[in-house]
């Protein structure tokens, strides 16, 4: 296994820029790529703003901010961004076919032993790994939103993941200042399987008029000491992302706990995706 020096993050939506930021802060050379022209550059700007905020709050120095930004590049071209990378972390939408297509394209650009990681929240890592001919170099690295603040990374191994791949991913996560846990590849892993139930049940309670969104959230923040209520968290994650995960877990775990509530499907159909569109269960003034 080569030492990891260069990390390519594919997808510059909600998650990709955060992953690119913590990778650059950890000292890796980082390329952020997105297939939509200009999206990677916008992701780069978000990182710059985040680092400015860190500087203002005394969480970063001017030198560390400059150094992190100097290690980062943004690109609209996947081939250029991926070529020569030691680790690729994919953060494109939660759709199996999209991810499989991307991995099969990546293997043409990047030979082993470069590691191919997916940030999927719930999909089968084995099914994604099945798109390449060396599945031992594939695993999940599941980060949490907002990436620069959340400590957890689930390192998800499918039955064919090489031990060296797993160990390298654990080491990268630690170097990023995260606390990795190693989880077997099963639907929703450890985190989404539990967390999604809570979010969907909160939506059903809202539909039934048990309480308003803020009060349902307060039940969890004040009653259970959760740092954020499940509806606000869904707004941060993205309602579309949550809906895809719920559908997938509903199918694979065959449990009605995961049946997507009508309110979730309706809000997504109306384009109310949460913080990123300004409206979800809450109204957001800043996307």
Return the residue nearest ligand NAD (CB atom).
13
Find the shortest distance in angstroms from Cβ 9 to ligand NAD: 10
Cβ closest to ligand NAD, residue 94 vs residue 185: 94
Measured in whole angstroms, the distance separating CA 74 from the mean position of its chain's CA atoms is 18
Cβ closest to ligand NAD, residue 65 vs residue 88: 88
Find the shortest distance in angstroms from Cβ 61 to ligand NAD: 28
Cβ closest to ligand NAD, residue 64 vs residue 279: 279
Find the shortest distance in angstroms from Cβ 66 to ligand NAD: 26
Find the shortest distance in angstroms from Cβ 119 to ligand NAD: 4
Dihedral of alpha carbons 246, 238, 156, 161, sign: positive
* Residues binding ligand NAD (CB under 6 A): 10-16, 34-36, 39, 78, 91-94, 98, 102, 119-121, 142-145, 237-238, 241
Find the shortest distance in angstroms from Cβ 62 to ligand NAD: 29
Cβ closest to ligand NAD, residue 88 vs residue 213: 88
E strands, 98-178, in order: 115-118, 138-142, 152-157
Max CA pair span of the chain: 56
Cβ closest to ligand NAD, residue 80 vs residue 145: 145
Cis peptide before 146 (omega within 30 of 0): yes
Q: Residue 179 forms beta bridges with which residues? A: 152
Answer for the pair 226, 220: CB distance below 8 angstroms, yes or no. Answer: yes
Dihedral angle at the C-alpha atoms of 34, 19, 129, 136, nearest 10 degrees?
130
């Amino acid at each position: 296994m080569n030492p990891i020096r260069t990390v390519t993050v594919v997808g510059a939506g909600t998650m990709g820029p955060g992953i690119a930021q913590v990778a650059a802060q950890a000292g890796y050379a980082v390329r952020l790529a997105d297939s939509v022209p200009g999206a990677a550059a916008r992701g780069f700007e978000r990182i710059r703003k985040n680092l400015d905020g860190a500087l203002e709050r005394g969480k970063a120095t001017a030198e560390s901010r400059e150094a992190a930004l100097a290690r980062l590049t943004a690109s609209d071209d996947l081939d250029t961004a991926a070529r020569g990378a030691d680790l690729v972390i994919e953060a494109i939408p939660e759709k199996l076919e999209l991810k499989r297509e991307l991995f099969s394209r990546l293997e043409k650009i990047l030979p082993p032993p470069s590691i191919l990681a997916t940030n999927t929240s719930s999909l089968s890592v084995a099914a994604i790994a099945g798109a390449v001919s060396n599945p031992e170099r594939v695993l999940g690295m599941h980060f949490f939103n907002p990436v620069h603040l959340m400590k957890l990374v689930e390192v998800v191994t499918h039955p064919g993941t090489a031990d060296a791949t797993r160990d390298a991913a654990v080491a990268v996560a630690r170097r990023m200042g995260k606390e990795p846990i190693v989880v077997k590849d099963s639907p929703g892993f450890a985190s989404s399987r539990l967390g999604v139930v809570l979010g969907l049940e909160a939506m059903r309670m809202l539909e039934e008029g048990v309480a308003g969104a803020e009060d349902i959230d307060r039940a969890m923040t004040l009653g259970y000491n959760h740092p954020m209520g499940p509806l606000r968290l869904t707004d941060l994650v993205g309602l579309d992302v949550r809906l895809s995960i719920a559908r997938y877990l509903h199918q694979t775990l065959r449990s009605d706990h995961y049946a997507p509530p009508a309110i979730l499907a309706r809000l997504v159909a109306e384009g109310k995706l949460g913080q990123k569109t300004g409206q979800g269960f809450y109204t957001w003034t800043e996307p």
